[in-house]
Amino acid sequence: MAATVNIRRDVRDSFYRYKMPVLLTKIEGKGNGIKTVFPNMADVARALNRPASYPTKYFGCELGAQATFNDTTERYIVNGAHDQNRMRELLDGFIDRFVLCQSCKNPETELIVSRDGYITSDCKACGYHGDIDMRHKLTTFISKNPPKKAGKKGKRGAAGADSIAGQPGQVDGVEDEDDDDDELTRKIREGAEKVMTEEEAARLIAEREKEDDWADEDTSPEAVAKRMAALGVSADSSLLAGGLDDDDDEASTGPYGEFAAWVTEQKEQAGGDLSAAELYKEADARGVTKKPHRLLPVLFPALFDDKVTAELPKYLPVLAKLNTSEKTAKALGGGIEKLVEAYPDTLKSVPKVLMILYQADVLDEDAIRHFATHVSKKYVSKDLSKKVRKAADPILQWLDEASSDEDDDEDESE
């Protein structure tokens, strides 16, 4: 078992009560496949009361290296060979930024992610409640992967490295405060939980069926009217004009289209020198950030042209802030399609665009795989959508190779 050290290594007091295991490292592989593995990262994370993926991702951000993690097998890796002392220093940086209270410097804090993606730290020791500095790249990852909510009080089982949310899970052997509930109460509670589970499953199935069945469906007013006539239903012109759902309105019109036109005009007047801060400030003032899934498809082709790979890094913070869900990730994919439609030469840049978005944590692997394998005519013609997917093949191959290398390393370590 690894020795323990003070969570604040600058504190020399041997009786300091906040301890953690000494971070261990192990170099695996060779050549381009060499990696640094952290055998006890899960134990360190439990001591810090943070998901183990957070410090691992922090290392990747600080070192400019790819970080991979598997919470099921508790395997945490950063590409490249890195010195053990250097990694411990980086862990100190993570603790200072994302664990210690800014007021009392104790590690009894909980990270809270708001709906708009901002992160606050809530200290259980002194009661301080303050914002986390959002300038670090890790904040984007935390916003998209917030700490899981703590289970019900009294629930048995030790907390895993990624089941932490401010308070550690209860350890085996602790008395369950609900043990004195009568049998009827327990049955009612179990039944309620079952109903909730079924509702969630039904909702998920409905969403997937809607996606699968309507992705290639023609939703133009004429097509809708034709289908309604076939069903013997009168087509209300007001419904057809406004759409059955406000979110299905054509994003190129209204405030979203107006904002896209403003972006184009500003870039032309300023010679392309429109800052990310100015862009987001104007979007927020116009209220178009409230529905980013409608903004992204028109913003991307307005913001970029055939020099997209050179311009993209400048606006990554804005795209990361707007991409907050699976729905917005698909909308961002639609924006890439619209860019190719407007600038056909950018088709060959699709893999690099996706790679830039992936490395900046704007799009995760699941989102990229979905985009690269699901043809849709929601934003462009079906033929163009197929071409874009075909152009994305190289990044799929890269993701597959990276996954294969990871599997090989795990087999070697076993």
User: Is the pLDDT score of 360 beyond 70?
Assistant: yes
pLDDT tier, 27 (very low <50, low <70, confident <90, very high otherwise): very high
C-alpha to C-alpha distance for 83 and 80, rounded to whole angstroms: 10
User: How is the chain split among helix, strand and coil, in percent rounded to 5?
Assistant: 55, 10, 35
C-alpha to C-alpha distance for 127 and 102, rounded to whole angstroms: 11
Residues present in the chain in total: 414
C-alpha to C-alpha distance for 359 and 323, rounded to whole angstroms: 15
C-alpha to C-alpha distance for 391 and 351, rounded to whole angstroms: 7
pLDDT at 53: 95
Give the three-class secondary structure for 221.
helix
By the 8 A CB rule, do 64 and 57 touch?
Answer: no
Beta-bridge mates of residue 131: 120
Alpha helices of 290-377 — where are they, by DSSP H?
Answer: 292-303, 308-311, 316-322, 326-342, 350-359, 365-373
Give ∠ CA 268-272-277 in degrees, rounded to 5.
115
pLDDT tier, 217 (very low <50, low <70, confident <90, very high otherwise): low
Quick one: average pLDDT of 42-53? 95
**Amino acid at the residue 261:** A
Tokens, residue 37: 């593995």
Q: pLDDT tens for residues 78-104?
A: 999 999 999 999 999 999 999 999 999
C-alpha to C-alpha distance for 306 and 372, rounded to whole angstroms: 20
Tokens, residue 240: 């057809």
Please provide the average confidence, as pLDDT, over all residues in the chain: 79
Quick one: average pLDDT of 21-30? 92
Give the three-class secondary structure for 70.
strand
User: Is the pLDDT score of 43 beyond 60?
Assistant: yes
Beta-bridge mates of residue 68: 77
Decide which of 231 and 366 is more confident: 366
Tokens, residue 289: 């950030």
Place of tokens 């950030």: 289
By the 8 A CB rule, do 295 and 282 touch?
Answer: no
Beginning with the edge strand found earlier in the chain, give each strand of the sheet holding 109-113 in spatial order: 109-113, 119-123, 129-131
Beta-bridge mates of residue 35: 28, 79
CATH among 1.10.645.10, 3.90.600.10, 3.40.50.720, 3.30.30.170 for 4-144: 3.30.30.170
pLDDT at 206: 61
**Torsion-angle region of 244 (φ positive above 0: left; ψ -120 to 50: alpha; else: beta):** alpha
By the 8 A CB rule, do 399 and 369 touch?
Answer: yes
Give ∠ CA 403-406-409 in degrees, rounded to 5.
155
Q: Closest by alpha carbon to 18, among 133, 120, 103, 125? A: 125
Q: pLDDT tens for residues 218-268?
A: 555 666 666 666 655 544 444 444 443 444 444 556 888 889 889 888 888
Written out in words, the top-level CATH class of the domain with range 254-404 is mainly alpha
**Amino acid at the residue 227:** R
Burial of 262 (C-beta count, 10 Å sphere; 0-12/13-18/19+): middle
Tokens, residue 281: 């400030």
Place of tokens 């179990």: 190
Q: How far is CA 304 from CA 73, 81, 266, 342, 354, in A?
A: 41, 37, 12, 10, 14
Q: Which of 161-170, 186-195, 296-305 has the highest mean pLDDT?
A: 296-305
C-alpha to C-alpha distance for 174 and 155, rounded to whole angstroms: 9
Domain boundaries, the chain: 4-144, 254-404
Give the three-class secondary structure for 164.
coil
By the 8 A CB rule, do 80 and 40 touch?
Answer: no
Tokens, residue 121: 């730290």
